[in-house]
Amino acid sequence: MPILNWRGQSIELSPGETALEGLLRCGVDIANSCRAGACQSCLIQAKSGNVPKAAQAGLKPALAQQGYFLACMCKPEEDITAESPGAGVRTPARIHEIRWLSPSVLHVGIELESPFDYRAGQYLTLFRPDGLCRSYSIASLPEENIINLHVRVIPNGQMSGWLSLQEPGIQLMTQGPAGECFYTADSPEQPLLLAGTGTGLAPLYGIARDALNQGHIGEIRLYHGALNSSGLYLVPELEELTREYANFHYQPALLDEQGPLPQYLHSQHPKLNGWRGFVCGDPGIVNQLKKRLFLAGMASRDIHSDAFVPNATGS
């Protein structure tokens, strides 16, 4: 079986075992979270040996060319010597602002030491000083300087609970951005449908404002699904956007009033030929929404999504 060489340690991988599993089995302390190739927190760099293509899916070409790969997606076919990511992959940042948007959602504003390019709707990974990390979608636009994240605070959530107790000025590390769910200005007249639940609103809010800022003239419909009204947030901001832009419409979709979001969308938009869609949030809902849009006639290439892959480290 292939050997993974890591800081002088030779780890023989079992059949079907990923590089991340091998490292963790041997007690190596390596950052990781989703274990599904999404959060990119287990990014490491190969110094020798070829890594499988699947371990570099979704990485920026520049990173892939330098041998970076995701340990959680890497089942090596040959021996690999790997190292921690070099300086420059992660950017120091500090918390600029922190406040509650709803009883369960925190607004976290992050100021980067050296700003990086990103698109609203992409996500980045936050690292606590002890290395614990989670990914969050970006609700802000690059010109706003502060990166805005919406964090759902979950009972016993290690990162979200910790964040809810922090104050401005606290230092963090960030990595990213990543993700391909963002607006492109190639067809400004195309109608856009944005739909999501929970903090899926973060990327959708960013994408909607990005489209409006870039002069999108087609209609933009944003649906935010929640169990009940206490799950809604940013309502004043979204209503303000609706007043300001004739082509923007915000519609909350409450489970106990409008019913499940996929069915509600179906009743509102039985035909979506020619539309472009963005769907974000819980993976189960995202899959249902994608299918719903597709069956209503939206072309598969026009459906953009970001399913929030849960943390898989068991904590």
Partner 1 sequence: MPTPTLSLYEQIGGAAAVDAAVDLFYRKVLVDDRISHFFDDVDMDRQISKQKAFLTMAFGGPVHYSGQDMRRGHAHLVARGLNDTHFDAVVELLGGTLQELGVAPELIQQVAAIAESTRNDVLNR
Assess 245 for contact with partner 1 (CB under 8 A): no
- Distance, in Å, from the CA atom of 16 to the CA atom of 236, rounded to the nearest integer, reads 50
210 vs 302, beta carbon nearer partner 1: 302
114 vs 273, beta carbon nearer partner 1: 273
Question: Site for partner 1 (CB under 8 A): which residue of 186, 189, 300, 314?
Answer: 300
162 vs 294, beta carbon nearer partner 1: 294
Question: Site for partner 1 (CB under 8 A): which residue of 132, 235, 299, 309?
Answer: 299
**Sequence-distant (≥ 6) Cβ neighbours of residue 187 within 8 angstroms:** 218, 276
Interface segment toward partner 1; rule CB under 8 A; list 1-9, 19-27, 151-159, 283-291: 283-291
Assess 291 for contact with partner 1 (CB under 8 A): yes
The minimum distance between CB 164 and partner 1, in angstroms, equals 33
Question: Site for partner 1 (CB under 8 A): which residue of 23, 127, 290, 308?
Answer: 290
- Distance, in Å, from the CA atom of 56 to the CA atom of 266, rounded to the nearest integer, reads 36
Interface segment toward partner 1; rule CB under 8 A; list 84-92, 161-169, 259-267, 299-307: 299-307
Which stretches of the chain are DSSP H helices?
19-25, 61-65, 158-164, 201-213, 235-244, 261-268, 283-295
Paired strand residues for 45: 68, 83
Assess 287 for contact with partner 1 (CB under 8 A): yes
The minimum distance between CB 290 and partner 1, in angstroms, equals 5
Assess 150 for contact with partner 1 (CB under 8 A): no
Burial call 53-73: b when 16+ CB within 10 Å, e when fewer: eebbeebeeebbeebbbbbbb
Q: Side-chain half-sphere of 312: how many Cα atoms within 13 Å?
A: 15
Assess 57 for contact with partner 1 (CB under 8 A): no
Contact call for residues 224 and 239 (beta carbons, < 8 A)? no
251 vs 288, beta carbon nearer partner 1: 288
The minimum distance between CB 301 and partner 1, in angstroms, equals 8
Write the burial class of residue 126 (CB in 10 Å: 0-12 exposed, 13-18 middle, 19+ buried). Answer: buried
Q: Side-chain half-sphere of 95: how many Cα atoms within 13 Å?
A: 22
Residue with tokens 């006639």: 297
Assess 119 for contact with partner 1 (CB under 8 A): no
Which residues here bind partner 1, judged by CB under 8 A?
A: 287, 290-291, 294-295, 299-300, 303, 305
